[in-house]
Amino acid sequence: MKKIYLLFLSSLLSLAAFAGNPDRQGEAGAAQLLMNPWAPSAGLHSLGTSYVTGVEAMRINPAGVSRFAGTQVMLGYANYLQGTDISMQAIGVTSRVGENGGFGFSVMSLDFGDIPITTTEQPEGTGALMNLSFINVGLTYSHQFENKVSVGLTLRGVSESTSDVNSFGFAIDAGVQYVTGAAEEFKFGLSLRNVGSRMAYGGQGLATAADNPDQSADYKLTYAQRAAGFEMPSMLNIGASYDFLTQVENQRVTLVGNFTANSFSRDQVGAGLEYAFREQFLARVGYRVDLSAANESTSTSADQSPIYDGISAGASIRVPFARGDVSRRFTVDYAYRSTRIYQGTHNVGLSLSF
């Protein structure tokens, strides 16, 4: 318990370093690390820091990987900001190792649709399409202690590239979850995400041809431009949840709360509810807002208002392989998140647990 108290105190002290700062908004890169391709947690606006388990935990809180009893394989697809032709695809696998350990592996990629290549000589397009590749790969290890505490660590490689420009970096996610209560109804979680190396673009695409300073030379010189580096969008999450109706047969209602301290944007706070019937049908709804300064002008607030406009909702249907055994199941998930612009983000997912 002393270690838990020390970790909790350290997280509170680190809030000053991770306090939301609208003045730095837009300075971070690798925004793909802020996107959630998994439908169950997306239906709660990724507020499940305290109780998320399995594959989804690799994105939100790696401590939850070891809390999933067995093996889980999950596929995720998201139509990001419907109308932009941007989509997310992801696959993840987690497995319990021994009595207390758990490993996980995940891959996520972005598809930006068809983007024509244009040049100053051909502003209407060259006829070719831009080849964009945004991929991040995560490897997670989690361990659960006998005193109901679990910890986890994710090492993530982040790659963003075109045919002639690329950037690569490493990020680390770390988290802890604590469960208590007679029926383990109260859960608390902390996660520190996207802490890693600075990234910078490089490659032949940044080279430019300029006139030769030697006036007698009749050829141009090629100069390599050095791009400015950028940081990853690090954040600190603190969450708690409580299960109601645990004494009522076949039903559960979970109240979820979460606070997010962003390094490069405003802090966020959110809450949600998840209802489960026989752990086979689940419905969830969440709401998240940005914490704004009271003295900000209306125009400034509008310019920096979040993409996600508060509400989210989702549902899951779990089909057990054996009657009364929900641990071995096939699951279909869906989630919707309202957005300030475009027509929202839709997530769908399939998972197999055994």
- Residue 248 neighbours by CB distance under 10 Å: 9
Distance in angstroms (rounded) separating the CA atoms of residues 57 and 187: 14
pLDDT the model gives residue 305: 56
Q: Are 240 and 261 in contact (CB under 8 A)?
A: no
Range 2-116+130-198+235-353 has CATH code 3.40.50.11890: no
| Confidence tier at 25 by pLDDT (50, 70, 90) | low
Tokens 């007679």 -> residue: 182
pLDDT digits (tens, 9 = 90+) for 42-74: 999 999 999 999 999 999 999 999 999 899 999
Distance in angstroms (rounded) separating the CA atoms of residues 331 and 313: 17
* pLDDT surpasses 70 at 346: yes
* pLDDT surpasses 50 at 16: no
H or E stretch covering 135: strand 133-144
Looking at residues 27-42, what average pLDDT do you find?
92
Looking at residues 195-224, what average pLDDT do you find?
86
